[in-house]
Amino acid sequence: MNEEIRIYKNETNKKNFKNFFRRFSITNWLIIVNIFSFILSYLLINIFGEEKFFSYFALQANSFFSGNYWTLLTSMFMHGSLAHLLFNMISLFFIGNFVEKIIGRKRFFWFYIIAGILAGLFYVSLSYFFGVSSIGERLFTNPGIFAVGASGAIFALLGLLALLTPFNRVYLIVGPLIAIIIQSILSQLFSTSALISSLDVLITIYIFIAIFSMFSFTKLGKIALPLEMPFWILPIVAIVPLFIIGLFVSLPIGNTAHLGGLLAGLIYAYYLKKKYKKKTEMIRKVFSR
């Protein structure tokens, strides 16, 4: 009897844990993990120093090819600033939950992780082999530069939607991207100016206001300069102009990681379209209205 009670309690505990876990989508759990990782990384940086912490957890071509292979995964859950975290997590919330409903929890989780790893591998490979020259550094990033963020995996989600729901319309928040570009240009042109620190603060404040204004669902949202477009255009607009600008100005944006993630998403979407022709065609029709 005691053994039966013990088994019953174990089964009940397992069921309760499973139910608790399923209260949140995989996307929302990933957001929680990212937020927790950001807080933890902030504490560890203050203890061990930024350089030591980043050398062990952030993605860098030289470090990766020296044996730090785990950074392909750890860098996906790290962010360089609060604005960086917010921008990525808001994007992940809307895009990730949409993709998860289409392909399911388990498939979404593995796709997100594997695509993020492939995006990182694409980034370090191009950086390591082609990022040493002057033009290569502009296009593929110097192999000594650290990279962090979930955007590689997020661009994989965009790639998947660009093929599965190409005509579904979405908003690209242009304002913060323009602000980051302006911030980079000014910091390089006037690196010694005392005004740069003040401008950095103002631009950062604008980025925060722009991000949160999108949740007002009023005319205030226009401050973020939202640009409506179909999903198939979004990855092109989000990558190509930044590659071109990157030829002239060094940007704190991992364009090659974005491109790697996009390719991973397109390939997986193509596989789904071939394997589940009727389902994917139905999805395309439903979200083309």
Q: At 156, is the pLDDT very low, low, confident or very high (cuts 50, 70, 90)?
A: very high
Whether residue 112 is predicted with pLDDT greater than 90 in this model: the reply is yes
Q: Higher model confidence: residue 99 or residue 196?
A: 99
Q: What percent of the chain has pLDDT over 70?
A: 89
Task: Give residue 178's pLDDT.
Answer: 84
> For all residues of the chain together, what is the average pLDDT?
86
Averaged pLDDT, 107-120: 97
pLDDT at 285 over 80: yes
Q: What is the pLDDT of residue 95?
A: 94
Three-state secondary structure along 191-258?
CCCCHHHHHHHHHHHHHHHHHHHCCCCCHHHHHHCEEEEECCCHHHHHHHHHHHHHCCCCCCCCHHHH
Q: What is the DSSP letter of 167?
A: T
Mean pLDDT of 79-105: 92
Whole-prediction pTM: 0.87
Look up the CATH number of domain 10-168+231-286: 1.20.1540.10
Residue extents of the structural domains in the chain: 10-168+231-286, 174-230
